[in-house]
């Protein structure tokens, strides 16, 4: 291999390496993952709108969740007394909800009136 051919081969390899490393460095600066947010501190709710342009509604919005409940009425409610027992659960898909049947013996009492826990569903 003559000297000029070797020179151009080495030069081409050096340029290729330079371009490759420059390209990967510039891409590395633009690679992002999901934005990390929390419920408190520097990434808490008061900062969500600044974490990403996608979160602009968190900064500019007026009625996003959690909903600002207005017109709430203070009420003097009776205490709830819970009397829950351990129970085997029977889970049923009844076609429109998941229903969980609870064994007898658990209840709550509100204002002296007892309510038996028979089932819950979601």
pLDDT in tens, 23-40: 554 455 455 667 888 888
Mean pLDDT of the chain: 81
pLDDT mean over 52-61:
83
- Residue carrying the six token digits 């129970």: 87
Q: In the prediction, which pLDDT does 46 show?
A: 87
Which one of 30, 47, 96, 121 is the catalytic residue?
Answer: 96
Percent pLDDT > 90 in the chain is: 33
Same domain, 81 and 117: yes
Number of domains observed in the structure of the chain = 3
Same domain, 109 and 66: no
Q: In the prediction, which pLDDT does 84 show?
A: 95
Q: In the prediction, which pLDDT does 57 show?
A: 82
Q: Provide the domain limits for residue 64.
A: 33-72
State pLDDT tens for residues 74-113.
998 889 999 999 999 999 998 888 999 999 999 999 999 9
Annotation says 121 is catalytic: no
Same domain, 5 and 38: no
Same domain, 23 and 37: no
């Amino acid at each position: 291999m003559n000297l000029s051919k070797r020179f151009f081969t080495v030069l081409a390899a050096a340029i290729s390496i330079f371009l490759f490393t420059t390209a990967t460095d510039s891409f590395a600066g633009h690679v992002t993952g999901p934005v990390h947010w929390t419920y408190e501190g520097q990434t808490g709710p008061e900062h969500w709108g600044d974490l990403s342009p996608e979160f602009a509604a968190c900064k500019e919005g007026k009625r996003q969740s959690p909903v600002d409940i207005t017109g709430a009425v203070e009420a003097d409610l009776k205490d709830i007394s819970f009397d829950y027992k351990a129970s085997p659960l029977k889970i049923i898909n009844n076609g429109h909800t998941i229903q969980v049947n609870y064994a007898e013996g658990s209840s709550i009492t509100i204002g002296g009136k007892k309510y038996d826990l028979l089932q819950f569903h979601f």
